[in-house]
Structure 1
Amino acid sequence: MLKPIAETSEKTTPGRTKAAPSIRWALASLSLSMLMPSLGTSIANIALPTLAQAFGASFQQVQWIVLAYLLAITTLIVSVGRLGDMVGRRRLLLGGIALFTVASLFAGIAPTLWLLIGARAVQGLGAAMMMALTVAMVGETVPKERTGSAMGLLGTMSAIGTTLGPSLGGILIAGFGWKAIFLVNIPLGIANFLLAMRFLPADRRNHGASQGRLDTIGTLFLALTLAAYALAMTIGHGSFGAVNVGLLLAAACGVALFVVAETKVKSPLLRLSMFRDTALSAGLAMSTLVSTVIMVTLVVGPFYLSRALGFDAAHVGAIMSAGPLVSALTGVPAGRIVDRLGAHRMTVTGLVGMMIGLSLLAALQGKFGIAGYVGPLAIVSLHYALFQAANNTTIMSNITQERRGVISGMLSLSRNLGLITGSSVMGAIFTFASGAADITAARAEAVAAGMQVTFIAAALLIAATLGVALTSFVFARRSNLLEDAA
């Protein structure tokens, strides 16, 4: 019978080497719990052209394979953390792993596009549980002095999942067909579940947390709002009509209802009073905008490389892995640079570098072959890693200990909002700029033109983000001067 680590290590003296193997296996489980959701995000993007052809669907329709997954994560990632406190983090993490694995099986055998989209939504629910609870489990799994190393390991595994997705997806599609990109999660999920069952610490009953209540109304309003927003951006084949406008108005009403609901409940999904902090609000806004741009490279890239440059799925996956690989390799050095030179300065540097890289992607379209795409993409990815380290440092270093969990959830939410925007809004710009009703049937020249316009729009979005950063720093400096004068 499998026993959790808390039971097997109770008789072991703290600090003894006997506990080390158990901790290593527990970290292996948490690493898989971080790897699988990030792999689930990136591996599906490479398959969009193949899935559009397999199901005879439009670009807007296959976008929902990505959007359904991201929507489920975004709307639930804050709530599942609180639910874990109520029912037990280990128990809920095990449920998330099982749900993700079973949903992957159904996605792999789905006979229709809409059943596949439904399976992806359920897979996103499992991913939300895994992402929210994996970080929370670190403090219960490793000694306090090793927490930083464990967090660094989880960050690396997330980057590896993002990096591995395009290349692994391309290889699987070329060798076994699109079903394999979902079925590959089954052995990973089974191994993860067994490791978690055996080595993760048993839940400790928290009477205070168990008496709390989930903000079901806020979660429902947020889910409906995001669904209306994403749907408005994906229907209509790149053009906006009455239905699109109606959905956007519904999304706006949903925001208003969400705000009202959050002021009425005792335990809101988001504490709106936190947004009075200018630095926090600016940091979250910048996180959303930059995530929007990063998602553009994942959504537009496969169509540009396959339709305009003529690469097959395996080569497209390998080329698209360049950006995430750069981010994974530069993440730790970027953090050290931020510590040495300052978060504010490196935030600006990161945004300026991203703007230059995106401008080069648009300007070098069709020139220098693969180098004309990979080179600028590497510049974008390197400076994205720098921005992430600097912006996260700014947000997390200026808050009190008791607010860290809430702010961390809000930061995750801001990133996912950006991913949804990048997949929907920027996807609509791409379709519109190509001048084709269906991007999957567009000529190579039209796809190239659409890519160029989309990356110009992305560069302008980063310029706006830079404006937010500079304005925030001015306000912060003025506030510091006023505090010193007082």
Structure 2
Amino acid sequence: MNASDADTRMHAASTAALLIASAQAPLGSTLIAVALPSIGIGIGADLVLITGLLVTGYLVVNVVCQGPAGKISDLIGHSRLLWTGIGLYVIGAGLGLLAQGVSLLFVSRCTMAAAGALVVPATLALMRLHVPTARRGRIFGLFGATMGIAAAGGPALGGEIVSLFGWRAVFIANLPFLALSALLLHRYPLPASHIPARRSLRALAQSLDVVGIGLLALSLALLIVASRLDGPGFIAAILAGTLVGIAFVTWEVKAAAPVFDPHLFSLPAFAAGTLMIALQNFAMYGLLYQLPQFFSVFREAAPRDIGYLLFVMMIGMVVAAPVGGHLTDRISARCVALLGCALLLSGMVQLWHLASFESPQDAMLALLIFGLGLGLCNASAQASLMSAVESGQAGMAAGVSSTMRYLGGILSILVLGAVLGGDTIVSMTRHEVMIWLFTVAIVLSALMSQRLLGAGNTAAGSP
């Protein structure tokens, strides 16, 4: 084997390790879903209580930590943050395995959520630094596909694990994957790069925008909590979250070392990529929540048929993401995103006829096309926004994009709650309004795609 072959193998193995590590965040998010009833019985807790603590709590911690984790990654080094995240996963898994009550299970889930929030920005930043520009789209396409597979496969894997080993095993299900990732990184280490000098905890705290982190966390937490409320509580949480969010933006503009540098959004490709991700996740998560309600209420469809419908969309996204990444490298992020937006819009146009659909099968083609469009767009947008920033801000850029991804989903759930209301049975007109809102989001996303990197563009910090 010659030197170039060895280098290629090392790069592929280390990239695989990063993808496996990053997949644990979405896997951990969905893996527990089918285990909740068994957990409730096992510890004698109310199902509503444990769902709120173990699912909503996980989401809150994961979302609010993404941005700060990206900034910390730039300060201490991406590899250090990655290994810290892997260590936190192990601690969280151990706590879940030993827990006898809901309190320790909650701590376990929050620890694992924080671990995922550390790992994802770190892996994105490492791929930005160590993958050549000419191959970056392909790698980010694989990243999108890996995350989609992990999220979609979580419930199925969780069901098998609970059936074979009991509910406690879901808390350690990530460990074999993490062990494989750690083994690959040890055997095939990443290329050497600049590593920031070690900082004391006090020096690190002084380098962080603590006020900004607090405002961001409070704003996102209020919005997430609002998605679980209705009536006056829903309105109050929305208003409070919005006001705190405005305070966060105002503070970041003036902060000496902001957690989200506002100047990043002056880069057209970065701003366009992050907004595309938010808008498309707004539409995707909206459909994931709206269509099951529509088909179960208006068409009395079986849960299995609805599940297959949503799985088709995930399959489309997983298949198209690597293709989108490859085309991004060969053509340009802008062209691939335009093609993806055309597919997204084609799928939405078919859903304009939602009232005429008699079963979930009637919507499968629309969801498949929509999923293919998501795969193409996610790869091109992620590659473009990460390539647009200097290497020293790769962690922050990754944190911002991850936060925007979640923010799009959170806003979608909030709008669904406002339009469809808390009642199970709502008018067909309200469902049609949501489809039009998702269409508007896709059109805006297509407009944003014009600002992505075109053929021949290079980022200021690209190798």
Q: Report the equivalent of 2:458.
A: none
How does the TM-score come out when normalised to structure 2?
A: 0.76
Question: Quick one: which of 343, 346, 366 aligns to 1:353?
Answer: 346
Q: Report the equivalent of 1:371.
A: 361
**Distance verdict in 2 for CA 1:32–1:294, change over 3 Å:** same
Deviation at 1:101, TM superposition (A): 3.5
Q: Report the equivalent of 2:19.
A: 31
1:192 has 2:168 as partner: no
Question: Quick one: which of 3, 22, 40 aligns to 1:15?
Answer: 3
1:121 has 2:115 as partner: no
Task: Summarize the alignment of residues 436-447 of structure 1 with structure 2, pairs less than 5 Å apart.
Answer: 446=425
1:220 has 2:214 as partner: yes
Deviation at 1:226, TM superposition (A): 0.8
**Distance verdict in 2 for CA 1:353–1:408, change over 3 Å:** farther
Cα offsets for 1:78-117 (capped at 9, x unmatched) = 3223323333332321120121233245446655666545
Checking the alignment, whether the CA contact within 8 Å between 1:335 and 1:390 is kept in structure 2 is yes
Task: Give the secondary structure class of the aligned counterpart of 2:126.
Answer: helix
Task: Give the secondary structure class of the aligned counterpart of 1:432.
Answer: coil
Code of the aligned partner of 2:27: L
Checking the alignment, whether the CA contact within 8 Å between 1:291 and 1:419 is kept in structure 2 is yes
What is the alpha-carbon distance in structure 1 between the residues aligned to residue 139 and residue 324 of structure 2? 18
Question: Quick one: which of 304, 329, 342 aligns to 2:335?
Answer: 342
What is the alpha-carbon distance in structure 2 between the residues aligned to residue 185 and residue 428 of structure 1? 36
Task: Give the secondary structure class of the aligned counterpart of 1:321.
Answer: helix
Question: Quick one: which of 59, 84, 103 aligns to 1:95?
Answer: 84
**Distance verdict in 2 for CA 1:331–1:194, change over 3 Å:** closer
Code of the aligned partner of 1:43: L
Task: Give the secondary structure class of the aligned counterpart of 1:267.
Answer: coil
Task: Give the secondary structure class of the aligned counterpart of 2:260.
Answer: coil
> Comparing both chains, which one has the higher relative contact order based on Cα–Cα distances under 8 Å and sequence gaps of 6 or more?
2
**Distance verdict in 2 for CA 1:135–1:433, change over 3 Å:** same
Deviation at 1:218, TM superposition (A): 0.9
Deviation at 1:284, TM superposition (A): 3.5
**Distance verdict in 2 for CA 1:26–1:280, change over 3 Å:** closer
What is the alpha-carbon distance in structure 2 between the residues aligned to residue 348 and residue 23 of structure 1? 32
Checking the alignment, whether the CA contact within 8 Å between 2:227 and 2:234 is kept in structure 1 is yes
Q: Report the equivalent of 2:438.
A: 462
Task: Summarize the alignment of residues 72-91 of structure 1 with structure 2, pairs less than 5 Å apart.
Answer: 72-91=61-80
What is the alpha-carbon distance in structure 2 between the residues aligned to residue 336 and residue 145 of structure 1? 10
Question: Quick one: which of 242, 247, 253 aligns to 1:263?
Answer: 253
Deviation at 1:330, TM superposition (A): 1.7
How does the TM-score come out when normalised to structure 1?
A: 0.73
Deviation at 1:344, TM superposition (A): 6.7
1:321 has 2:311 as partner: yes
What is the alpha-carbon distance in structure 1 between the residues aligned to residue 356 and residue 161 of structure 2? 32
Kindly report the root-mean-square deviation, in angstroms, between the aligned alpha carbons of the 2 structures.
4.4
Cα offsets for 1:218-256 (capped at 9, x unmatched) = 111100111112212312xxx321x43333332233123
The percent identity for this pair of structures is 23
Cα offsets for 1:172-202 (capped at 9, x unmatched) = 4566665544432132233333443454347
Code of the aligned partner of 1:234: R
Code of the aligned partner of 2:243: C
1:414 has 2:443 as partner: no
What is the alpha-carbon distance in structure 2 between the residues aligned to residue 175 and residue 318 of structure 1? 24
Runs of 5+ unmatched residues, structure 1: 1-12, 435-445, 477-486
Code of the aligned partner of 1:255: G
Q: Report the equivalent of 1:384.
A: 374
Code of the aligned partner of 2:231: F
Paired residues in the alignment total 440
